[in-house]
Structure 1
């Protein structure tokens, strides 16, 4: 089968049409493709709003993953630059994440070990800082919820059949507080996608989205919002090496400010 029209470009892969009803996601490196394929098999066996996974394909020396094609814009582009639209979608995103966190699973928790590995392997964090971060992480509560760990408006497709969540490469199992903190951190970051919509570029509207999202999630889960500061240090530390240039420096500075408190 021939590869079709280019549909999207991400940090780890490009997505193309594949036949009449599917897409193929071609990864820049094989390890990411294999990791996401493993996660896709897990997701297929859980009751989650995710595209059906059809398997791995080798194409011109690169590994691709075939998924059901989901039509529609992502939430990022679906949102209008009005407070009404931003509030509605922020609350919808919180409900979708809460839904993920309440799906039953029997997977061994791995979130805290994965964060520990990222911290230990970082060249941007001193050994002294690493020990502080890992001590903080070890003190935080464990959990066994499904965590998307890359949950943001551009990974939610608003389809005719309802919202569908994509890009499960970072799938982890652990405490839901870590997943929410990660989402809030990404929303507040200055790192924006190319040609970002106006509401996201506008700092005040982005902060409003974050506030509405957090308020709704905390209400749904009947939680105390204090967990955000507790989890933010290991969350920032795990993010540093995922970023480049000025955005890496932004994360590093935010981390060091909190470590000095």
Structure 2
């Protein structure tokens, strides 16, 4: 049995050899989603963005997996936990990295507006009228062809000897960069922490997150010459689409109330 080095919502990560890892997907993940990640990863590699090199698709332990370059490093979350005094510096670097992604264009990926619409349509919390209202809102938003990661948060940034490396491109698409920024803001501000974490520790983490988010947004808007309204316009659809994800029910309840307040 190979050494397991990590696990997420969609997959387990094992060492494959000295230079590669295998992302072994859970049985619940449909083959079409794995194929999408494989194709997206190849496109991201071809575009020259800072991401692990992608190898082949393989079957291992009767499950489908993708071979990736092994990146030695720690996540940005771990880096911040070790040295919280550097939160503003790391937030600025985080913003620069996000802006770097958005400086690249691709029409080979999925249109994020179409993905958001499909997610809203799948959400059983909304009435038909509410769905139509949200879809009309999405269709009226300005679009672009910028590469968007759509799950850009500190756990998906590895700090390595090669510099920052971005992982988990399964949700990547093309569209308006401010949609991608809005999703990051929502994760930083609204993602619930595990109940097992003591309350004082939770408060410290949330304070750190708040400072990190504020500095990230400020730096990104400086680089992009955008405004908070550019980000704010995407909060409604991103929150609505997030309701079908595998996040805690309490977090979904919070986001649902936010969405209703926007309608």
How many residues align structurally?
257
For residues 11-56 of structure 1, give each alpha carbon's deviation from its aligned partner in whole angstroms, at most 9, with x where no partner exists.
1111010011100001112433222112111112111000000010
What's the secondary structure of 2:181's corresponding residue?
helix
Alignment correspondent of 1:251: 255
- Measure the CA separation in 2 of the matches of 1:95 and 1:195: 33
Unaligned runs of 5+ in 1: none
Q: CA deviation at 1:199?
A: 7.9
Alignment correspondent of 1:10: 8
CA contact (8 A) 2:74 2:158 kept: yes
Alignment correspondent of 1:130: 131
What's the secondary structure of 1:63's corresponding residue?
strand
CA RMSD of aligned residues (A): 2.1
What's the secondary structure of 1:226's corresponding residue?
helix
- Measure the CA separation in 2 of the matches of 1:58 and 1:200: 43
What's the secondary structure of 2:58's corresponding residue?
strand
The 1:191–1:201 alpha-carbon spacing in structure 2 relative to 1, beyond 3 Å, is farther
TM-score by length of 1: 0.92
What's the secondary structure of 1:73's corresponding residue?
strand
- Measure the CA separation in 1 of the matches of 2:108 and 2:55: 22
Please list, as runs of the form range in 1=range in 2, the aligned pairs for 1:85-96 lying within 5 A after superposition: 85-96=86-97
Q: CA deviation at 1:204?
A: 2.2
- Measure the CA separation in 1 of the matches of 2:109 and 2:50: 21
Q: CA deviation at 1:200?
A: 8.0
What's the secondary structure of 1:107's corresponding residue?
coil
For residues 70-89 of structure 1, give each alpha carbon's deviation from its aligned partner in whole angstroms, at most 9, with x where no partner exists.
01110011014766411111
What's the secondary structure of 1:254's corresponding residue?
helix
Q: CA deviation at 1:201?
A: 5.2
TM-score by length of 2: 0.91
CA contact (8 A) 1:22 1:69 kept: yes
What's the secondary structure of 2:49's corresponding residue?
coil
CA contact (8 A) 1:146 1:171 kept: yes
CA contact (8 A) 1:90 1:212 kept: yes
Alignment correspondent of 1:38: 39
For residues 143-184 of structure 1, give each alpha carbon's deviation from its aligned partner in whole angstroms, at most 9, with x where no partner exists.
100000000000000001100000000011000010000110
Are residue 204 (structure 1) and residue 207 (structure 2) matched? Answer: yes
Alignment correspondent of 1:112: 113
CA contact (8 A) 2:43 2:108 kept: no
